[in-house]
Amino acid sequence: MTQLWDFSGGIHPPEHKDISTARPIRNAGVPDYLVLPLQQHIGDPAEAIVEVGERVLKGQKLADVKTGMGVPVHAPTSGVIESIADFPVPHPSGMADRCITLKPDGEDQWCQRNPVKDYRSLERYQVLHIIRDAGISGMGGAGFPTNIKLRPPRDRKVSTLILNGAECEPYITADDMTMREKADEVVAGLKIMAWILRPERCVIGIEDNKPEAIAALRKATEGTQTEIAVVPTKYPSGGEKQLIQILTGMEVPSGGIPADIGVMCQNIGTAVAVAQAVLEGTPLISRVVTITGEAVREPGNFEALIGTPIEHLLEQAGVNQDAVSRLVLGGPMMGYTLTTEAVPVVKTTNCVIAATAAELPAPPPEQPCIRCGQCAEACPMELLPQQLFWHAKATEFEKAEHLNLFDCIECGACSYVCPSSIPLVQYYRFAKGEIRAQQAEQLKADRARERFEARQARLEREQQEKELRRKERAKAAADAAAKKQAEAEKAADEGEAVDERAAKSALVEQALARKKAKAEASQPPAASAQPAPSAPPAEQKPDIEALEKQLSQAQSKLDTMQGMLDDAKAQQADNVEKLERAVAKNHDRVQRAEEALSEARDKLAAGSTESQPTH
Amino acid sequence: MAFVQQSSPHAHSARPTSRVMLWVLIAALPGLLAQTLFFGWGNLINVVFCIAVAIASEAALLKLRKKPVAFFIKDNTAAVTGLLLGLSLPQFAPWWVSAVAVISAIVVAKQLYGGLGSNPFNPAMVGYALVLVSFPVAMTTNWAEPAMLWDGAPGFGETLATIASGQQTAVDGWAMATPLDEYKHKITTHTAAEVLNHPTFGEGVAKGWEWVNAAFLAGGLLLIGLRIITWHIPAGFLGGLIVMSLAFGNNADLYAPLSLHLLAGGTMLGAFFIATDPVSAATSHQGKLIYGAGIGILIYLIRTWGNYPDAVAFSVLLMNFAVPFIDHYTPPRTYGHHKARRGVPGSQG
C-alpha cells in the first residue's frame, strides 16, 4: 500500500463523469477537412515545410520547429494541403492563428514508418529524438514538449516518475477511458519514459472514482515495480503540485519545477503517444477527446485526429444545436468557453462540454465579500484568496504579489465555494496580467534608458575627442607663433649690431626667416594634424584586440545564457522570462561589441588611407 | 448561435451568503428556545422586534445609498444582526433600548462604513456596547429571573406590555441580577458558598443559563459541522478564557469559578455566534486562534477586574481593532514556500 499524504483545501464538485463513460471510445473518423495549428503548445510555433497544393501522406511531417522549443506537426491522414492561413484556434481569446488546412483524400495512406522493436538497444538520446520527431508534447496541461521534459538538467535526478491519472476535473473522462481501454499502451509508454529517466520509483496516481481504470492498470502492471496509488477523490488532486504532494509528501518549491525535488509528472495520453511513437513509429496524429454535456445525445469519448473540427465531434455525439448555451473546452473548473465550434482538436484538447443553460447556469450577481474565508479553506495552495481579491480589486498589485499571487494555479476552487459568487480567479488573472504588463513595460523602459545612456556616453566621448584635437591644434599654432616671434626677435637683436648693409641683409634675412617661419607655421599644423589620424590607429591596434576579446567574451556569455534558457524552458521554470531578458541583453551586448569592432576596423582602414598621401 | 462567454470556473456550489446566514439563524434557534423556556417570552419578543427593526433600517439606508434594496435584504445579514442583539439584550429591556441598539448597529456600524463586508467592527456588538454604556440602568435591571415558562414566568402578554411600555426598570419580582453580576458584587464581602445560595444560581452552575449556554454550544457545533464557521475562533475564545481562569481564578472565594465563566453569561453565544462574524474577524487559521484567544482573555480581565459583569461586546470590539494587525502578521505559509511572507511588500520576515 502506497503511503499517501493530503493536500490542504480542495473541493468536491459534482463529478458528472458517468455521462461520458457509458460508451467505449469511438473512432471519430476522417472529417471533410483538418485544420492543424502550427502552434499547439507553449514554446515556438512550427514552420510549414510543405507547399499549398502538395499531396502529403499520413504521418508525414508538415511543419517543424527549426530554432527554439517545439515539436513538429504531422499529417493526420493523407491528402492535399489546401491552404496555410489564419484560422480560429482553441484559445481563451478566440483568436485566429496560422494553420495548415488539409483536405483528406480518403485513402489514409501511410508514409514510411520506423517502429523500434527493442528501444533498449538504442541510446537514450535516440529515443528522445524519436519522441521529439513524433511531435509529442504534454497532452494534459500547457503541452510542454515531452522530449525536453524527459531530459532534465544533469543535477536534477528524477527519482520518482509519476503518471497522472487523477483526472480530477468534473466531466472529463478521456484519461479514464484511455486507462480502461489502453492500459497496456499506458504502461508501455511509462516503461519507455522510466527507461530514459531511470527513476527509483514509478507511480500511477488515480482517483478512487475510477475503479475500472484502476483494475485495468493493476492487471497491466502485474509483476512490475510500478505502484498504482489510489488517491481520494478531491479536486484538484490532479494538479501537478497537488498530486506530487499526495504521492510524495513533498512540495514543489515556489517558482521551481518538480525536477527540483526529484519528481516528474507525465500525462496518461502522453504515455500512450510515447509508446506508439517508439514501438509503432506512429507520430502524434490523434488523441482521445471527451464530448459531453447535456446538449449532446450520445456523449462519450472519441479517438479524434488532430485537426478535427470540434463541430465534427459534436455532430458525431448527436449535438442538439439549440440546447447548447455554453461550449467549454476543458473541464468546468479550468476550461474556457469557445466562441465557435469551428476550432480544431489540438494535442492538448481533452474535453468539450456542450452545456445547456440549466446545466451551467450563469453565476448569480456578485455580492460583497464577507470575508467568510471559505475560499481560504478551499485553496489547495494555502493562499489567502480573499486578501488577494481585495488587493487585486484595489489594484494594489505589489501587495497581491507579496501574498504570493503568482503561486495561484487558477484551479477555481475559491470561486467555486464563494458564497458571494465573486469571480475570484478572474480577479487574479487580471492582477497577474497587469503585473506582467507592468514588468514588460519596465523592461522596455530599462532598455530604452540603456540605449539612451549608451548614446549619451558615445556623444560625450566624441565631443571630448574633438575637444582634444582642437586643443592640440591650438597648441601647435601657439608654438609656431612663439617660434616665429622668437626668431624675429633674434633677427632684430642681430640687426642692431651691424651696419646698414648688414641691416639690409638682415632685413632680407628677416624676410626670409619670416617666410620660413610662415612655411614652418603652415607646416606644424600639418605635422601635428598628422599624428592625430595616425595616432589612433597606433592606439587602435591593441584596441581592436581588446574589442575582439570583448566580443568573444560577450559571445560566450550569450551562449551560456542561451544554454541556461533552454534548460529553464525544458523545465518550465519560472525564471524563463528573466533568462530571456538576460539573453536579449547579452545579445545586444554582442551586437554592440561587434559594431564597435567593425567601427574600429573601419576607422583603422580609413586612417591608413588618409595618412598615406601625406607621407 | 452565440455561445455564453464566461471565465472559469463554470461550476459553482449552491450555498450563497443568504443561505449561510439562514443557517446561522437556524443554529441559534436551540439557544433561543432554551432562553424562552427558562426566562420567559422576553428574548423571543426581542428577537422578532430586533430583526424587524434591523431589516427596516437596512432597507432605509440602502435606499438612501441608492443600492438595490431587495438584493441586499435577501442576503439575510441584517436579520442575523437583529437576531444576535435580540438574543443578547435583557429580556425586559424597554423597546427603545433595543431599537437604539439595532439602529446604531445597522446604520452606524454597518451601512455608514460601506455596508456588508466593509464594517471593521461587529455591528451587533457596537449596538450592544452603545446601549450598555448609555442606559446602564435599563441594561442591568431587566434580566429575567430564571423561571420555567410554564411555571411562574410572566406570560406573553405581560412581557410584551412591559417591553412596549418603555419603563426603565421592569416590574419588581420579575427581574433579578445575572449570576455573573451577583457573584462579582457579592464575592468581595461573602464566601463562595454564601454567594451561591442566591436563587439565581439554582441547583447547577447557574439556573437556566447553563442550558442556554449548552444550547448555543450545540448550535455552534452545528455551524462548524456545516463548515459555516471554523473551530479556530471558538477554540481560541474558550481556550483563552479557560487558561486565564485556571491561572488566576482558582480560588472561588475571590473570583468567579471557571464553570460560571463558561456556562453563565453570554460565553457560548459570544464564542460561536458573535466572535465568528467573518467580516470583522481575523482571516487565517492562526490569526483566528489569536483573535479568539484575545477575546477570551479580555473577557476574563473585564469580568474579573473591570466594571462590567459580562464583557463579550467590549472584548469583541477591542479585538476587532486588532484584526488588521493580526492579519498582517499571520498569513499562512503558501505551498512551496519555506515560511509565510509576513508584513507588507518590501519588509523582511
Predicted confidence at residue A504, as pLDDT, reads 64
CA dist B120 and B278 (Å) reads: 10
Q: Are residues A400 and A285 in the same domain?
A: no
Are residues A332 and B11, on separate chains, in Cβ contact within 8 Å?
A: yes
The closest alpha carbon to A271, from A74, A134, A139, belongs to: A139
**What SS3 string covers A305-366?**
ECCCEHHHHHHHCCECHHHCCEEEECCCCCCEECCCCCCECCCCCCEEEEECCCCCCCCCCC
Q: Nearest C-alpha of chain A: how many angstroms from B47?
A: 23
| pLDDT band at A541; cut points 50, 70, 90 | low
Q: Are residues A121 and A66 in the same domain?
A: yes
CA dist A369 and B117 (Å) reads: 5
For A400, nearest residue in chain B (alpha carbons): B345
Binning chain B into helix, strand and coil, the percentages to the nearest 5 are 60, 0, 40
List the single best residue of B1, B6, B12 to mutate versus A (max A Cβ within 10 A): B12
| pLDDT band at A519; cut points 50, 70, 90 | low
Are residues B331 and A387, on separate chains, in Cβ contact within 8 Å?
A: yes
Write out pLDDT tens, residues A381-421: 999 999 999 999 999 999 999 999 999 999 999 999 999 99
Are residues A333 and B331, on separate chains, in Cβ contact within 8 Å?
A: no
Strands A61-64, A47-48: pairing is antiparallel
Question: A16 with A170: CB under 8 angstroms?
Answer: yes
Q: Are residues A392 and A285 in the same domain?
A: no
The closest alpha carbon to A328, from A284, A365, A295, A297, belongs to: A295
Q: Are residues A102 and A190 in the same domain?
A: yes
**A 268-307 near B (Cβ less than 8 A):** none
Phi, psi of B70 (to 5 degrees): -60, -40
CA dist A534 and A610 (Å) reads: 9
CA dist A204 and A197 (Å) reads: 16
Predicted confidence at residue B239, as pLDDT, reads 97
For A170, nearest residue in chain B (alpha carbons): B11
Predicted confidence at residue A574, as pLDDT, reads 65
- Could you tell me if B286 lies within 8 Å of chain A, comparing CB atoms? no
Tell me the chain B residues in contact with residue A419 when contact means C-beta distances shorter than 8 Å. Answer: 15-17, 19-20
Are residues A252 and B7, on separate chains, in Cβ contact within 8 Å?
A: no
Reading the block at residue A135, the C-alpha cell is 511531435
Predicted confidence at residue A500, as pLDDT, reads 59
Q: Give the start-to-end residue ranges of the domains of chain B.
A: 16-176, 184-326
CA dist A278 and A194 (Å) reads: 14
CA dist A46 and A39 (Å) reads: 6
Are residues A335 and B8, on separate chains, in Cβ contact within 8 Å?
A: yes
- Could you tell me if A368 lies within 8 Å of chain B, comparing CB atoms? yes
Contacts of B115 (CB under 8 A, 6+ apart): A368, B61, B62, B65, B67, B72
Q: Are residues A384 and A244 in the same domain?
A: no
Q: Is A563 helix (H, G, I), strand (E, B) or coil?
A: helix
- CB nearest to A332's CB, from B9, B20, B77: B9
Helix (H) or strand (E) holding A220: helix A211-220
Q: What is the CATH number of the domain that holds A195?
A: 3.40.50.11540
Reading the block at residue A356, the C-alpha cell is 445547456
pLDDT greater than 70 at residue A563? yes
Predicted confidence at residue A496, as pLDDT, reads 59
Q: Nearest C-alpha of chain A: how many angstroms from B233?
A: 12
Q: Are residues A181 and A227 in the same domain?
A: yes
Q: Are residues A520 and A594 in the same domain?
A: no
Say how many domains are in chain A.
Answer: 3
Tell me the chain A residues in contact with residue B344 when contact means C-beta distances shorter than 8 Å. Answer: 399, 402
Contacts of A86 (CB under 8 A, 6+ apart): A96, A97, A98, A99
Q: Nearest C-alpha of chain B: how many angstroms from A399?
A: 6
Q: Count Cα atoms within 13 angstroms, Cβ side, for B38.
A: 21
CA dist B246 and A372 (Å) reads: 32
Strands, sheet with A79-88, edge to edge from the N-terminal-most edge strand: A34-37, A96-104, A79-88, A55-56
Task: For residue B260, give Cα distances in angstroms to B89, B184, B237, B250, B255.
Answer: 19, 11, 15, 12, 10
Write out pLDDT tens, residues A24-38: 999 999 999 999 999
Reading the block at residue B126, the C-alpha cell is 457596537
Q: Are residues A498 and A389 in the same domain?
A: yes
Least confident of A108-117, A569-578, B199-208: A569-578
Predicted confidence at residue A576, as pLDDT, reads 72
Task: Please indicate, yes or no, if residue A469 is contained in any of the structural domains.
Answer: yes
pLDDT averaged over every residue in chain A = 87
DSSP B208: T
Write out pLDDT tens, residues A123-173: 999 999 999 999 999 998 778 899 999 998 878 889 999 999 999 999 999
Task: Please indicate, yes or no, if residue A348 is contained in any of the structural domains.
Answer: no
Predicted confidence at residue A527, as pLDDT, reads 44
For A260, nearest residue in chain B (alpha carbons): B336
Q: What angle do CA A63, A64, A65 make, to 5 degrees?
A: 140
- Could you tell me if A534 lies within 8 Å of chain B, comparing CB atoms? no
Residues in chain A: 615
The closest alpha carbon to B267, from B320, B213, B211, belongs to: B213
Task: Please indicate, yes or no, if residue A324 is contained in any of the structural domains.
Answer: yes
**A 485-504 near B (Cβ less than 8 A):** none
pLDDT greater than 60 at residue A528? no
pLDDT greater than 50 at residue A531? no
- Could you tell me if A339 lies within 8 Å of chain B, comparing CB atoms? yes
b/e map B278-310, b = 16+ CB within 10 Å: bbbbbbbbbbbbbbbbbbbbbbbebbbeeebbb
Question: B237 with B296: CB under 8 angstroms?
Answer: yes
Q: What angle do CA A235, A349, A359 make, to 5 degrees?
A: 55
| pLDDT band at A579; cut points 50, 70, 90 | confident
Q: Count Cα atoms within 13 angstroms, Cβ side, for A106.
A: 1
Predicted confidence at residue B172, as pLDDT, reads 66
Tell me the chain A residues in contact with residue B345 when contact means C-beta distances shorter than 8 Å. Answer: 398-399, 401-402
Write out pLDDT tens, residues A167-191: 999 999 999 999 999 999 999 999 9
Q: Are residues A542 and A562 in the same domain?
A: yes
Phi, psi of A231 (to 5 degrees): -105, 150
Question: A75 with A56: CB under 8 angstroms?
Answer: yes
- Could you tell me if B15 lies within 8 Å of chain A, comparing CB atoms? yes
- Could you tell me if B345 lies within 8 Å of chain A, comparing CB atoms? yes
Kindly state the average pLDDT of the residues A310-339.
93
Q: What angle do CA B139, B142, B144 make, to 5 degrees?
A: 135
Q: Nearest C-alpha of chain B: how many angstroms from A42?
A: 20
Q: Are residues A511 and A605 in the same domain?
A: no
- Could you tell me if B320 lies within 8 Å of chain A, comparing CB atoms? no
List the single best residue of A372, A403, A424, A427 to mutate versus B (max B Cβ within 10 A): A372
* pLDDT tens, residue order, chain B (349 aa): 578 888 889 988 878 889 999 999 999 999 999 999 999 899 999 999 999 999 999 999 999 999 999 999 999 999 999 999 999 999 999 999 999 999 999 999 999 999 999 999 999 999 999 999 999 988 988 888 888 777 777 888 888 988 888 877 766 677 778 888 888 888 888 888 888 888 778 777 788 899 999 999 999 999 999 999 999 999 999 999 999 999 988 788 888 889 889 998 899 999 999 999 999 999 899 999 999 999 999 999 999 998 888 889 999 999 999 999 999 889 889 999 988 877 767 654 4
Are residues B283 and A420, on separate chains, in Cβ contact within 8 Å?
A: no
Reading the block at residue A89, the C-alpha cell is 484556434
Question: A274 with A191: CB under 8 angstroms?
Answer: no
For B16, nearest residue in chain A (alpha carbons): A419
- Could you tell me if A370 lies within 8 Å of chain B, comparing CB atoms? yes
DSSP B143: P
Predicted confidence at residue A526, as pLDDT, reads 45
Task: Please indicate, yes or no, if residue A127 is contained in any of the structural domains.
Answer: yes
**Residue A568, domain extent:** 534-615
List the single best residue of B10, B327, B347 to mutate versus A (max A Cβ within 10 A): B10
Largest CA distance in chain B: 84
Question: A312 with A28: CB under 8 angstroms?
Answer: yes
- Could you tell me if A553 lies within 8 Å of chain B, comparing CB atoms? no
The closest alpha carbon to A103, from A84, A87, A81, A85, belongs to: A81
Q: Are residues A525 and A539 in the same domain?
A: no
Reading the block at residue B249, the C-alpha cell is 481564578
Are residues B336 and A170, on separate chains, in Cβ contact within 8 Å?
A: no
Q: Nearest C-alpha of chain A: how many angstroms from B111?
A: 13
| pLDDT band at A109; cut points 50, 70, 90 | very high
CA dist B323 and B320 (Å) reads: 5
Residue B38's identity, in one-letter code, is F
Q: Nearest C-alpha of chain B: how many angstroms from A163?
A: 21
pLDDT greater than 50 at residue A529? no
Kindly state the average pLDDT of the residues A486-490.
85
What is the pTM (predicted TM-score) of this model?
0.78
- Residue bearing the bigger pLDDT, A526 or A567: A567
Q: Is A133 helix (H, G, I), strand (E, B) or coil?
A: helix
Write out pLDDT tens, residues A232-284: 999 999 999 999 999 999 999 999 999 999 999 999 999 999 999 999 999 99
Q: Are residues A373 and A509 in the same domain?
A: yes
Least confident of A279-283, A465-469, A521-525, B60-64: A521-525
The closest alpha carbon to A3, from A175, A205, A260, A157, belongs to: A205
Q: Nearest C-alpha of chain A: how many angstroms from B77?
A: 10
Are residues A333 and B6, on separate chains, in Cβ contact within 8 Å?
A: no
Question: B49 with B94: CB under 8 angstroms?
Answer: no
Predicted confidence at residue B191, as pLDDT, reads 84
